């Protein structure tokens, strides 16, 4: 089944996701326990920044990124070329539910990683099972995803909260789970892996930090991607949805304003 990808893949959206990547990758890498010579598969590799960051993290790490959307995959290769890293990662076309691997590759990876993939899939367990099939015995599957309900801002902004709830509903309308992040250890277990670690990477911040404006744009533009689906399905009117987006921009000027936005991660070991 092909599901509409909620973030789309137009250039503006790609640039936003690239900025988000730069901000998040340090936190992601700090919990991946990468070592020289590892063989890594990155499922749903998108624009490839985290796949390239993994490859750069230690000598001799070989990374294959698997991406279903050709525009995203082409974008990943262009960004890699522009950064002088054209050969660093192999970006392979394919579906995370049916990984495009040879018989030799299947069951051979030290680490299979997927970030912000499962929230876009109606059957995330099928993807985790496919990842479990790709990793070697004793290897790890590392998942990172949002639980949008853990998102919190202070002081409160009720108009934004209403739009954020509608954004979450847009995931459900597509058959996806906006709270998948909290369920990662359970998914690992159900896929036959042994959950071993879990935690949070901070994607929040407070007014006064250098990237505050960028963080606000990221959050507003992320919520905007759910606007069409949420308003067409009558979750909120367009005016109500937009009132939340506008309120967030005004709220961002509040002295002492802060956003608490943890990204959930969990890791399972293949017996
Ligand atoms: C939000 S992006 C995350 C990209 C990257 N993992 C990161 O953390 O920066 C999700 C990516 O998963 C891709 N994707 C969605 N469903 C997929 C599937 N079934 N198989 C492979 N890729 C998929 C999308 O096209 C998109 O590029």
Q: Using CA positions, which residue lies closest to atom 25 of ligand 1?
A: 69
Which residue has the CA at smallest separation from atom 13 of ligand 1? 44
- Residues flanking ligand 1, CB < 6 Å: 5, 7, 21, 44-46, 50, 66-69, 72, 95-97, 115-117, 120-121
pLDDT at 213: 87
Question: Which of 44, 121, 175, 178 to mutate for ligand 1's pocket (most ligand atoms within 8 Å of CB)?
Answer: 44
Do strands 89-93 and 109-115 pair parallel, antiparallel, or not at all (unpaired)? unpaired
Ligand 1: centre distance to CA 14 (Å): 12
* Nearest protein CA to atom 4 of ligand 1, as residue: 46
1 — pLDDT class (breaks 50, 70, 90): very low
pLDDT of 215 > 50? The answer is: yes
The answer as to CATH 3.40.50.150 being correct for domain 11-269 is yes
Compute the distance between CA of residue 184 and CA of residue 124 in angstroms, rounded to an integer: 10
d(CA 87, CA 80): 8
pLDDT tens per residue across span 155-179: 999 999 999 999 999 999 999 999 9
**Whether residue 3 has pLDDT greater than 70:** no
Query: Which has the closest alpha carbon to 85: 132, 31, 48, 133?
Result: 48
Give the residue with greater pLDDT, 22 vs 108.
108
Sign of CA dihedral 210, 216, 222, 225: negative
pTM of the model: 0.93
Atom of ligand 1 nearest to the CA of 97: 19
* Mean pLDDT confidence for 189-212: 95
pLDDT more than 90, % of the chain: 85
């Amino acid at each position: 089944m092909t599901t509409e990808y909620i973030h789309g893949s137009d250039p503006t959206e790609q640039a936003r996701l690239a900025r988000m990547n730069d901000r998040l990758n340090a936190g992601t890498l700090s919990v991946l326990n990468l070592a020289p010579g590892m063989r890594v598969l990155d499922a749903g590799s998108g624009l490839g920044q985290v796949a390239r960051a993994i490859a750069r993290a230690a000598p001799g790490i070989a990374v294959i990124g698997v991406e279903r959307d050709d525009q995203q995959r082409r974008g990943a290769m262009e960004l890699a070329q522009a950064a002088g890293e054209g050969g660093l990662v192999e970006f392979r076309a394919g579906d995370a539910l049916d990984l495009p691997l040879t018989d030799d590759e299947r069951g051979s990876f030290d680490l299979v990683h997927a970030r912000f993939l499962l929230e876009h899939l109606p059957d995330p367990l099928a993807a985790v099972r496919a990842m479990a099939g790709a990793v070697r015995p004793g290897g790890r599957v590392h998942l990172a995803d949002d639980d949008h309900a853990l998102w919190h801002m202070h002081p409160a902004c009720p108009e934004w909260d209403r739009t954020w709830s509608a954004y979450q509903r847009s995931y459900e309308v597509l058959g996806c789970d906006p709270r998948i992040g909290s369920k990662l250890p359970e998914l690992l277990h159900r896929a036959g892996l042994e959950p071993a670690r879990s935690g949070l990477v901070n994607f929040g911040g407070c007014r006064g930090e250098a990237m505050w404006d960028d963080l606000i744009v990221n959050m507003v533009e992320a919520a905007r991607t759910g606007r069409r689906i949420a308003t067409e399905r009558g979750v909120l009117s367009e005016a109500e949805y937009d009132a939340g987006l506008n309120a967030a921009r005004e709220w961002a000027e509040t002295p002492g304003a802060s956003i608490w936005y943890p990204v959930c991660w969990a890791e399972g070991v293949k017996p």
